[in-house]
Amino acid sequence: MIKAIFTNTTGILFSRITGFIRDLLTASILGVNIYSDIFFVAFQFPNLFRRVFGEGAFSQTFLPTFIRVRKKGLFSASIFYRLVSAILILTILVYIFDSEVTKMIAIGFDSETIEKASTFVKINFWYLLLVFFTTFLSALLHYREHFATTAYSTALLNISLISALLLSKGGDGEQIVYFLSYGVLIGGLLQVIAHLIAIRIYSMDRVFFGGLLRLNKLDEVESETKGFFKRFLFAIWGGGTAQISSFLDTLLASLLTTGSISYLYFANRVFQFPLALFAIATTTAIFPRVSKYIKVGNQEKAEELFREGFWILLSLLSIATIIGILFSEEIVSLLFERGAFGEEDRIATAQVLRYYLFGLVIFGIAKLFSLWLYAHEKMDISARISTYSLIVKMVSAPILVYLLNMGVAGLAFSTTISSGVVLVLTLREFGWKRFGKIFTKEKI
């Protein structure tokens, strides 16, 4: 397990370093203004679905089912065919109702800004199709317990966006956003190519393409497919509420002062660094093995993995939280304060970052124990927990922002509060007695 975590961690570290270079250049070249808000809004919608597919609903539903199904090629083809069709239909709808979709994301934009932003929303939305290809192929690779390609390939998107920024340097804001939007698509295409090469190396291409060549026999896996989609619908809600929360943040931030969306974005980028480096790396490495142990009835080994994962995450995330809170302004200054990103932007972004960091340990541990529900295919329970969390978010965010006058920092703190709800309710399902044994030498 340590080797898999290390592979994920180094890959994510490389991707995050390139991501910070990208954000540094974005802050310096594009700055914090209406065009930076437009780009982040345009990328928000496909990014919402990317996180649902990549970090939640799809991979955590697909793997347990794929592990136990007999006709793996047909099953994978059935899922791929249906979801690609749904994404294409959704993309067409976005093109038809582009202004309405943009208004949903940024209700505070005026009509002229909505018109500008809708063009970029349509361009960026194609990234959703590319990222689903990548996510689907990465799930096949995770079945083989190969994580490096997925961990490192995110850097391809960042490198593409860095190239777009450098090529557009000196242009006006609109031109830079055009370059960034097409850079998103090129980066997504490069990720797909990398995963296609990897599934060929790990001999999963015969499963994937073999199933696609037998689409006329999909009725042979109809029951497995229906079971997957039943759980998938619950998992979409369960795994996607954090992204809906982010969507709500963007909407509320658009009603605040100009730059609020960008402050949230830059602070969240810093927050996501330790979260991805430790929490996502650990849970991604653990999940396939836990699912396999549960399939063969080896509950003891599955529980031992959770014990190891808990102590790894608690230690690393606690250290990251303390460092991040104590040196928040220095971190933001080092990463972003240059060019068009000034002192006022640094102070505002650092304040938002501190309120995000209060929930770093909570969020990471909650993510670990949510895997217990997914591995046992209890997506309905996870969905219920996420619903309660989202309700708390929707109630607390306006109170903190407006009644307590916390402004954009209140949005970050409401995310921390809702994460606490997820942790408490998830641990209750895991079992408080079982959780308590993690702190002793008893078998869980």
- Region 214-229 average pLDDT: 85
Question: Could you give the CA distance from residue 245 to residue 59 in angstroms, rounded to a whole number?
Answer: 20
For residue 20, is it within any domain?
A: yes
Question: Do residues 160 and 186 touch, judged by C-beta distance below 8 A?
Answer: yes
Round to whole Å and give the CA distance between 257 and 239. Answer: 30
Which pLDDT belongs to residue 294?
78
* Cβ neighbourhood burial of 441 (10 Å; 0-12, 13-18, 19+): exposed
Q: 3-state class of 169 per DSSP?
A: coil
Name the residue with higher pLDDT: 361 or 250.
361
Q: Identify which has the larger pLDDT, 257 or 391.
A: 391
Percent of the chain with pLDDT over 90: 30
Q: For residue 63, what pLDDT band results from cuts at 50, 70 and 90?
A: confident
Higher-scoring residue by pLDDT: 312, 341: 312
Residue 161 and residue 40 in contact, taking contact as beta carbons nearer than 8 Å: no
Instruction: Domain of residue 41: give its range.
Output: 2-439
Query: According to the model, what pLDDT value does residue 195 have?
Result: 95
Helix, strand, coil % over all residues of the chain, rounded to 5:
85, 0, 15
- The rounded distance, in Å, linking the Cα atoms of 201 and 198 is 5
Distance in angstroms between the alpha carbons of the first and the last residue of the chain: 18
Three-state DSSP class for residue 110: coil
Annotate 257-293 with DSSP letters as a single string: STTHHHHHHHHHHHHHHHIIIIIIHHHHHHHHHHHHH
34-48, 292-306, 386-400, 428-442, range with greatest mean pLDDT: 386-400
How far apart are the C-alpha atoms of 329 and 280, rounded to whole Å?
25
Whole-number pLDDT of residue 62: 86
Q: Is residue 36 part of a domain?
A: yes
pLDDT, residue 3, reads: 66
The count of structural domains within the chain is 1
- 132: Cα within 13 Å, side-chain hemisphere: 20
What percentage of the chain exceeds 70 in pLDDT?
95
pLDDT of residue 357: 95
Q: Take residue 8 and report the two structure tokens written for it.
A: 């994920």
* Assigned domain for 444 exists: no
Averaged pLDDT, 196-214 = 86
**What pLDDT sits at residue 325?**
95
Q: Does the residue 181 lie in any domain?
A: yes
What local confidence, expressed as pLDDT, does residue 59 receive? 79
* Alpha carbons 386 and 369: distance in angstroms, whole number: 13
For the stretch 364-421, pLDDT in tens is 999 899 888 888 888 889 889 989 999 999 999 999 988 888 888 899 999 999 999 9
Confidence of residue 438 (pLDDT cuts 50, 70, 90): confident
Measured CA to CA, the distance from residue 376 to residue 289 in angstroms comes to: 13
Mean of pLDDT values over 307-320: 91
Per DSSP, the three-state class of 315 is: helix
> Cα(319)–Cα(313) distance, rounded to whole angstroms?
10
Residue 119 lies in a domain: yes
> What count of other Cβ atoms lies within 10 Å of the Cβ of residue 269?
19
**Span 336-356, mean pLDDT?**
87
In a domain, 417, yes or no: yes
Quote the longest CA-to-CA distance of the chain.
Answer: 63
pLDDT at 55: 53
User: Which has the higher per-residue pLDDT, 14 or 327?
Assistant: 327
The model's pLDDT over 18-31, given as tens digits with 9 standing for 90+, comes to 987 888 888 788 87
Considering the domain boundaries, does residue 94 fall inside one? yes
